[in-house]
Amino acid sequence: MNGRTLDADDLARGVAHLDDETILRMLHDRYDEKAIYSSVNRMLIAINPYEDLGLYSAAMLETYAALGGESAPPPHAYAVASAAFKGLLAGGSQSIVITGESGAGKTETAKRMMQFLAHMAGAHVGERAGAEAHGAALDAKSPAALHHHLLRTNALMEAWGNARTTMNDNSSRFGKFLSVQYDSSAKLLGAQINTYLLEKTRVVQRGAGECSFHIFYMLLLGLPPSEAGQLELMPDVQSFRYARLVDADIDPAGRDGEGWAEQLAEVRGVLTDTIGIPAADVWSTLSLLAAVLHCGNIDFAVPAKGGTSAAAALHTGAMRPLKALARLLGVDAAELCDALTTRVIRAGAEWVTKPNTTAEACGLADALAKALYARLFDRIVASINGAVGLARPGAPTGGGLAHSFIGILDIFGFEHFGTNSLEQLLINYTNEQLQSLFNGIGMRRRGAPPAAGRRRGLARAPRASTRLTRALCSPLPFVLPFPSPPLPRRSLLGRPG
């Protein structure tokens, strides 16, 4: 251990050779002692214990909230948020990067940091510390109340953006950058959420042992029977292709110890009470989610003459989901059927209707479902930003060094499946680029040349060739070996005029 002891929180101090083996051995020994947090200079390493160790009590929160202490507290997610807040007070914007494999605890860590910042928003401006965490009455326009609203919106982001995977029961299937904006006196002004790379393909297909987004199971298993009847839903996930479980032994119920009905009630409460969306619009949102589910149940059959080029036709039992989809979308069922099974192309000066094959029709239905869900997700994010952003009604205005921010980047989980899609390639590549960007910024701020790590004995892991990946994703000119598909000549539900 190079003379190190378990109570040494910063693994980089007093080590003759800081290599992978040394770090892993020290982390293992500390984990055995229930010390899940360790530091390497300004980097915090957290190991998910998959149990409650009592690290997030009110007393612990107060310990890290004390500003100006001479002795640094042990490594903790609160310590990182505290350092960011101190940097903000010193007059500079701060950014926190949360990265790791799926299931490492990134989502929970981000929530703990927001909990600390919410506490500081109340304590620093003289409001009753921690009131927002206990539901006490707060001024609706106060910084603490705004942070409380931000914490509540986590329920929406997890419902629409998280899903169960083989590695994590609550895996974020999108990337998120949260910018919490303050004025020169560290008074909270507003917040902005930017998202990227929503895993839209999860709506229509999943791997073995995985589930779709949580909101679908809330809708199917949490709606009261009277409301489910209006949306033509039944409490059976196996009856809907987009929610169907690939592995019959997996039960999506009971996430976080709560029933789906309670989680759906929380989501609806946040939409109406926190975001301010009228109840009628919330019902329209649920109706669009039901429309996506019905879209997955539209089956297309190949006519009797067979062949892959045969024109697509609706399966005998597909009229019910088609009519339900058309009703929920407010369109004519016959026109919707025509839009899915035919396309219009131009031949000279005339427009000609050509039938789609079964594969093309199925692809159109899946594309419609993904587009509907992605637009709905974007609308939810926009509504959150409208409720907590600088442009919200009654938002305070800051002076002096206004609009400094604390940014929290919750990077999409690194994953490697048996079969990796192009989407997963882009996710991992984006994560690598973001991580490299922040690593470079950190090195420049410390003023250490890249070779310093090697002089200290820091081993560099061998890397596989990434020439093809970089060629595909590089902004430099690159010619693909196949032509791009032509753009559609009409929208899905409309003909050219």
Which residue numbers are catalytic? 102-103, 107, 168, 171-172, 413, 415
Q: What's the token pair of residue 183? A: 């004025």
- Say how many C-beta atoms besides its own lie within 10 A of residue 346's C-beta: 10
Q: Which residues pair with 172 in a beta bridge?
A: 162
170: its two tokens:
């609550």
From residue 342, give the alpha-carbon distance in Å to each of 68, 148, 325, 355, 371.
Answer: 69, 50, 18, 4, 19
CA distance 418 to 56: 37
The DSSP call for residue 451 is T
Kindly tell me the burial class for residue 50, based on how many C-beta atoms sit within 10 Å of its own C-beta (0-12, 13-18, 19 or more): exposed
Return the SS3 of 36: coil
How far is CA 155 from each of CA 161, 264, 385, 468, rounded to the nearest angstrom?
10, 10, 15, 39
Q: Look-up: residue for tokens 């039960």?
A: 251
Q: Which two tokens stand for residue 404?
A: 């400094």
In 209-222, which positions are buried (b, 16+ CB within 10 angstroms) versus exposed (e)? ebbbbbbbbbbbbb
Element (H, E) at 182: strand 175-182
In 342-482, which residue ranges form alpha helices assigned H by DSSP? 358-388, 422-446, 452-455, 467-473
For the chain, the farthest-separated pair of C-alpha atoms sits apart, in whole angstroms, at: 83
Q: Please give the Cα distance from 172 to 181 (Å, whole number).
A: 24
CA-nearest of 197, 208, 203 to 172 is 197
Kindly give, in sequence order, each residue whose CB lies less than 8 Å from that of residue 310, ignoring residues fewer than 6 positions away: 302, 303, 357, 358
DSSP 8-state symbol, 485: P
Positive or negative: CA dihedral 469, 472, 474, 480: positive
For 398, the token pair is 């800051």
Crossing angle (nearest 10°) for helices 279-295 and 319-329: 150
